[in-house]
Structure 1
Amino acid sequence: MYKKILGCVGEYKKYTILTPLVMIGEVIMEILIPFVMASMIDKGILGDGGISYIVKMGALMVVMALISLNFGRMGAKFGAKAGMGFAKNLRKTMFDKVQDFSFANVDKYSTSSLITRLTTDVTNTQNAFMMIIRMAARAPVMLIGATIMAVIINRSLSVVFLVAVPLLGIALGIILVKAHPRFVAMLGLYDRMNGDVQENLTGIRVVKAFVREPQEIKKFEASADAVRKAQIFAEKLIILNGPIMQLSMYGCMIAILWFGGNMVIDGQFELGQLSSFISYISQILISLMLISMIFIMVVISRASMTRIYEVLSEEIDLTDTGADKELKVADGSIEFKNVSFSYSRDKENTTLSGANFTIKPGETIGIIGGTGSSKTTLVQLIPRLYDVLSGEILVGGRNVKDYTLEHLRSEVAMVLQKNVLFSGTIIDNLRWGNKEATKEEIMEACKAAQAHDFISAFPEGYDTWLGQGGVNVSGGQKQRLCIARALLKNPKIIILDDSTSAVDTATDKKIRDALKSKLKNTTTIIIAQRISSVSEADRVLVLDDGEVNAFDTPKALMETNAIYKEVYESQQKGA
């Protein structure tokens, strides 16, 4: 796990290496300063060195302090560059990984969880990384250096902190073991809270329409309070580290002042040596506190790193392995050969079972069926958004797995059931279909999708800014923009997944007529709830409970298929 995450240091290795090196330089100066100070007291103030010796030693201490300060400044600068660069690379690596996720991979994680992992978890890991590269070298070097100096000054007095260190280690070990699971639970509650926020903000219009603000506020308060309690539960164990360290530090100080003071009185110890010894003891205890803080930060971030590693190590189930990188889709023909599919990959729990049918290039195919009949599931298998459980799907006469995902999906345009637009202008959103599209091509596609008129009515026209998710256009306008975006791909297969449900029947008819004239050689698949949307299709596929019930012309289905006839008659009553 650590190797994979630390691999994101990348081009910031130089700063990662320089940071501990300059921190060691700072520590060396800090260790030498008490030694010089002891000499200044014993020889300059209490001895016969005089004022000149005091001035000389004082000047040396100032120079050493300035050198230490400069090393500290460089350590802070290099550490910040290394830490922020590491976080940038880690976020990018995670985001790139998520972009490679198949629909099945995305289904494993909630959106709020992925957002938390890309933000809070990366920040926790970044903070731990910065502390480690700055303190992991500084604290041990200070601990070892100060211990050596303290032992050199007075070996017998050094026994005091040699007793305290093991006790501190035991206390710290207990805290670390107990704290980790608490932070794991806390981050899980963060995910839930972020999920509540995302859900509320996405559906804010529904919340207001149903006057559910008080209930949503209570729901959020409950989530936030759960996070607060989890934080307190985790932190109240971690904060014990501070009092334990302080108790040890002041206990050692009292013991040293007592025993050391008596030794000074008895003439066994110089006053300057006692002063420097106290400084070294302080450095030893401070370094121990820093080491404990490092471990605590690692505990806090370990839960975050585990969650990050889960994303980075996620096995992508859709890859180009075995695909012919030069193979292109020849035409829009589609063939399902005994295709079965299960979201859980369980043969005993299939969503689609034994689908067999063939679609010729350029045909217009309608798909109807009741809710849960697997209409959307079936069409998502064509551009290989999911892989089949068994059987095979041929597009252009070849198995979809023979194509690279890029080549296959570039020839299959899909207008999903849930229409999604992105922040930016209308023309920016439309160019998702073809980034090289000219203004004339864009306008032609919008006219076919019956979107040109309402776009032209906006003061800024095609340069109108769309808010996140296209909040400033209606549902029907969204659908027409998404259809225009798909048309700009000029695909061999276009799939409209109930994508005209928010437009009136007259506009729906105009869109279908325009598609028929514009996409003469393109295979068109229309999933619809309205029978009128598929009544002019070449053939209609009827799905029932995940199985192909019938596949024939609308006229033939009216005579032979009970499901099609029932839907037709229920929708045409009173027409």
Structure 2
Amino acid sequence: MIFGKNINKYYSKYWYLFVLGFFFLIVVDIFQLFIPMIIGQMITALGDDIDSFISMELSFLNGWFKFDLGYVLLVIGIITIVMFVGRIGWRMSLNTISRNVECDMRSEMFAHVEDLSVSWFSKEKVGGLMAYFTNDLEDIKMCFQQGLIYLADIIFLGSGALLFMFTTHWALALVCMIPVVAMGVSMYLIMKGETGLWNDVSQSFQDLSDMTQESISGLSVIKAFVREGREMKRFSDLNGKNKLASIRYYRFSQKFGNCWINILIYSTVSVILLVGGYFAFAPSLQIPGIPSSAMSTPSQAAGTLASFLGYFDSLIWPLQAITMLIELMSKGKAALNRVDRLYDAPIDIVDSKELSSGSKVKGFLEFNNFSFSYPDEPEKKVLSGISFSIKPGESLGIVGRTGAGKSALVSSLLKLYNIPRGMISIDGKDINDWYGKDLRDSIGFVSQEAFLFSDTIKGNIIYGKSDATMDEIRTATKFADVDSNIMEMPDKYETVVGERGKTVSGGQRQRISMARAVLRNPSVLILDDSVSAVDALTEKEILANIKSQIDRTTIVISSRLSAIENLDHILVLDMGQMVGFGTHNELLKSCSVYQKLYELQMLEKEIR
């Protein structure tokens, strides 16, 4: 059982299952302890003579319950049935808790990850992030599943066995407490060591997961550069580190956990036999303060020892469960610490509760002395002093060298970063006064990396509008000039594109992504270098379709001037600064950076 700020709520949420599970466990543990009592009394009676054995009367709990020997089989049968039903009951209850907690935590973690800002993902790797949802949650689940069972048996079966041991022969039980106390001290020290070692195992596995995911994603690049050997060495090194960390953990666990506990357990058995034998066979030797009345006759001694060993046998499992519980708690605590770090990752963009949702963007965009830095590098200005505006229905092209800040500029419109007040207004309202989901619902964004899900082409296109009709879908694909390509495929719109859309060409991925954005009929359409992989004829067709949409504000980022030269406005960026704003013809006269880009592309065209 583990506790923490992100897990304590589940104890109260599923309290009824805890109560039910522990009730069944207590019943099973209590009835389990009746068996040694019956056996001990039967051995005592059998040691006297057969007549006394047949006529004996068994008693429980100092005579509270009494019955003749003839009912022993019936009583044992009842005990067996009760234990059988009880085991089913606690397993169903406690296993249900563990599955519910795992499911709830996974859903909460996923929801939290979805709310995290893009700057957080720039520092995290997918492989390591997946470890939170797999290994770490599995360790936490096991704490609730097996851990609760171990804990209940330690508390109820262990304390019950000790109670019966002290009731049977308190002096012998007291002697047995010496190794048991030593065991408790050992457990505390072992747990501290195991937690630190398991942290090392978890971190090494995360590093291995990061590298594996990255290598598989970039397999085509690895093969193109013939770097399979290098990647295999990296994998082997990280795999080796994970193996060594695991070996260190399990060596420590076995050496100081299971082995040491087993030594203490069997030492206690030896103490029982040695001291119990002393009381049984040397009653004349008296040790001050230790009575021998419980073993006054050989038959009574045999019965007492049999019961005592039976109780201690019931105590062995709780003692062994201590080591297993410590191992589970060590793993669970380490996993919870890692999950807490995920929960503690700040959600940078939080809409004010005073904002009302449901507003629709019309498309009037205004930047006023806009400056921007990425959160992880606040001292480095990506953009500075950007001021311009475009009206609803107008089109804007953005051009500039690599690293000029083009993508950062359009990303700011999606409210993915915190923007100081007064720098960006949409429809005359500061961007901070807009509900984030309303903005993103009104803006169709097609990024540089056209991402497709492992689904059909139709499934990818309707991702943002699941109730779209086939006519609406084909209208969007015709706008992106990809409908004819899709219809040539064997399964047409039901063609499965594979993971990340690898079974279609780069140009088709871009145009399918564009159709997905257009299908939502956004007020603002942003194409972030989204026609770079298409041929000139297709590009011309798409740009003509863009110009025909007079009721939509469109922003096109492109490194090719041919893609933007006919748009209403063109913004030129250089080293994070705005160096030109106007039409194509105006910029050819007034902007040296634009002139150089134009001349360079004309030269490239002539060379071809």
- 2:276 is aligned with 1:246: no
Percent identity between the two aligned chains? 29
Which string of whole-angstrom CA distances, capped at 9 and with x for unpartnered residues, describes residues 296-344 of structure 1?
2111111111121222333311122155314623411111122222223
Q: Is the 8 A contact 2:201 2:242 kept in 1?
A: yes
Which string of whole-angstrom CA distances, capped at 9 and with x for unpartnered residues, describes residues 426-482 of structure 1?
111111232222111111111110100110001111111221211211111100000
In the TM superposition, residue 199 of structure 1 has moved relative to its aligned partner by 1.1
Letter in 2 for 1:49: S
Residue 395 of structure 1, aligned match among 414, 418, 426? 426
In the alignment, what sits opposite 1:157?
172
Q: Is the 8 A contact 1:79 1:130 kept in 2?
A: yes
Relative distance call for 1:435 and 1:307 in structure 2 (3 A) is same
Q: Is the 8 A contact 2:476 2:519 kept in 1?
A: yes
- 2:66 is aligned with 1:50: no
In the alignment, what sits opposite 1:264?
280
Q: Is the 8 A contact 1:9 1:86 kept in 2?
A: no
The within-5 A match list for 1:331-370 is 331-344=362-375, 347-370=378-401
Letter in 1 for 2:158: L
In the alignment, what sits opposite 1:286?
317
Structure label with greater radius of gyration: 2
In the alignment, what sits opposite 1:537?
567
Relative distance call for 1:207 and 1:330 in structure 2 (3 A) is closer
Residue 526 of structure 1, aligned match among 552, 556, 563? 556
In the TM superposition, residue 551 of structure 1 has moved relative to its aligned partner by 1.6
Gapped runs of 5+ residues in structure 1? none
- The CA distance in 2 between the partners of 1:568 and 1:10, in whole Å, is 67
Root mean square deviation of aligned Cα? 2.0
Residue 443 of structure 1, aligned match among 474, 486, 492? 474
Residue 176 of structure 1, aligned match among 191, 194, 199? 191
- 2:63 is aligned with 1:33: no
In the TM superposition, residue 418 of structure 1 has moved relative to its aligned partner by 1.0
- The CA distance in 1 between the partners of 2:525 and 2:184, in whole Å, is 66
- The CA distance in 2 between the partners of 1:408 and 1:390, in whole Å, is 16
Q: Is the 8 A contact 1:31 1:145 kept in 2?
A: yes
In the alignment, what sits opposite 2:402?
371
Residue 548 of structure 1, aligned match among 563, 578, 581? 578
Stretch deviating more after TM superposition (90-99 or 342-351)? 342-351
Gapped runs of 5+ residues in structure 2? 57-68, 284-291, 296-300
The within-5 A match list for 1:109-508 is 109-239=124-254, 240-266=256-282, 268=292, 269=295, 270-322=301-353, 324-326=355-357, 328-344=359-375, 347-388=378-419, 391-508=422-539
Determine helix, strand or coil for the equivalent of 2:6. Answer: helix
Q: Is the 8 A contact 1:449 1:484 kept in 2?
A: yes
- The CA distance in 1 between the partners of 2:401 and 2:569, in whole Å, is 18
Determine helix, strand or coil for the equivalent of 2:424. Answer: strand
Determine helix, strand or coil for the equivalent of 2:490. Answer: coil
Determine helix, strand or coil for the equivalent of 1:93. Answer: helix
- The CA distance in 2 between the partners of 1:188 and 1:345, in whole Å, is 23
Stretch deviating more after TM superposition (249-258 or 156-165)? 156-165
In the alignment, what sits opposite 1:572?
602
TM-score (norm 2): 0.90
Relative distance call for 1:383 and 1:19 in structure 2 (3 A) is same
- The CA distance in 1 between the partners of 2:96 and 2:7, in whole Å, is 17
- 2:106 is aligned with 1:91: yes
In the TM superposition, residue 520 of structure 1 has moved relative to its aligned partner by 1.3
- The CA distance in 2 between the partners of 1:92 and 1:561, in whole Å, is 52
TM-score (norm 1): 0.95
Number of aligned residues: 574
Which string of whole-angstrom CA distances, capped at 9 and with x for unpartnered residues, describes residues 239-275 of structure 1?
2210111000111111111111222223542211101
- The CA distance in 2 between the partners of 1:52 and 1:450, in whole Å, is 98
Letter in 2 for 1:368: V
Determine helix, strand or coil for the equivalent of 2:112. Answer: helix
Relative distance call for 1:314 and 1:223 in structure 2 (3 A) is same
- The CA distance in 2 between the partners of 1:295 and 1:332, in whole Å, is 60
In the TM superposition, residue 404 of structure 1 has moved relative to its aligned partner by 1.4
Determine helix, strand or coil for the equivalent of 2:499. Answer: coil
Letter in 2 for 1:484: A
Q: Is the 8 A contact 2:421 2:430 kept in 1?
A: no
Relative distance call for 1:468 and 1:347 in structure 2 (3 A) is closer
Determine helix, strand or coil for the equivalent of 2:532. Answer: coil
Q: Is the 8 A contact 1:9 1:89 kept in 2?
A: no
- The CA distance in 2 between the partners of 1:272 and 1:58, in whole Å, is 19
Determine helix, strand or coil for the equivalent of 1:466. Answer: coil
- The CA distance in 1 between the partners of 2:597 and 2:11, in whole Å, is 60
In the TM superposition, residue 381 of structure 1 has moved relative to its aligned partner by 0.4
Q: Is the 8 A contact 1:113 1:194 kept in 2?
A: yes
Letter in 2 for 1:465: V
Stretch deviating more after TM superposition (177-186 or 102-111)? 102-111
- The CA distance in 2 between the partners of 1:10 and 1:550, in whole Å, is 62
Determine helix, strand or coil for the equivalent of 2:500. Answer: coil
Relative distance call for 1:327 and 1:446 in structure 2 (3 A) is closer
- The CA distance in 1 between the partners of 2:184 and 2:10, in whole Å, is 31
Determine helix, strand or coil for the equivalent of 2:105. Answer: helix
- The CA distance in 2 between the partners of 1:231 and 1:85, in whole Å, is 29
Determine helix, strand or coil for the equivalent of 1:324. Answer: coil
Relative distance call for 1:347 and 1:63 in structure 2 (3 A) is closer
Determine helix, strand or coil for the equivalent of 1:543. Answer: strand
